[in-house]
Chains A and B, each alone.
Chain A
């Protein structure tokens, strides 16, 4: 099946630092979505990307749809304690399936 690999697997950063994480796929995606999941809760949609090369911001979050359509990047600027959680990339396949990445766990140290 489809594999979405995220890196890094986990990050420990100081409050105020910027964060970068990425997601790569073995095949082309036409949509990239980024979600954040807190413990015991469902994922929350952060950003949706629909065009190769697209750069979209949502507050301190910025995501980019890679030109090859096989990758995407998420950046968080000036991290704060509530940014703690697991970040997932996700996208639909041509066969009406939906794939999630392996996740990046973010810990922000006050």
Chain B
């Protein structure tokens, strides 16, 4: 059984650029959630994908968008990057059902916006 994987590990972009982050869910999991974690803070929920559709969204602007693919992997896209977007971006997978709230996290992608 493979765990949640994310790519790339680190990324440096400049203000105004666009970025795509990728996540492969743990085998057997059909739901993917994305989080933004600024330094010294707890993860902030961005959105969740289930059956290739957005299924819950946090307080993030529309320039944060995502996709889920038939194999349950997911992408997070951020347009018009701002300096405050610098953070660790975490992906978590889970399986709908009794234990559907038990989310398992990947190692994250560290994004730096200059």
Contact = CB atoms under 8 A, between A and B. Distances in A.
A92 B101 contact: yes
Contacts of B66: none
Contacts of B55: 96
Indicate the member of B42, B45, B102 with the most A CB atoms within 10 Å. B42
A96 B56 contact: yes
Interface residues on B, range: 20 to 34
A31 interface: yes
Interface residues of A, number: 24
Interface string B26-53: 0000000101000001111100100000
A4 to B, nearest CB: 8
B48 A43 contact: no
A96 B43 contact: no
B105 interface: yes
Given A96-B55, A98-B48, A99-B45, 8 more contacts: A33-B102, A48-B102, A91-B101, A97-B45, A98-B56, A100-B43, A102-B42, A103-B41
Closest 9 CB pairs of A and B: A96-B56, A42-B105, A100-B42, A98-B45, A31-B101, A100-B43, A43-B105, A92-B101, A103-B42
Interface of B: 4, 33, 35, 41-45, 48, 55-59, 90, 92, 99, 101-108, 110
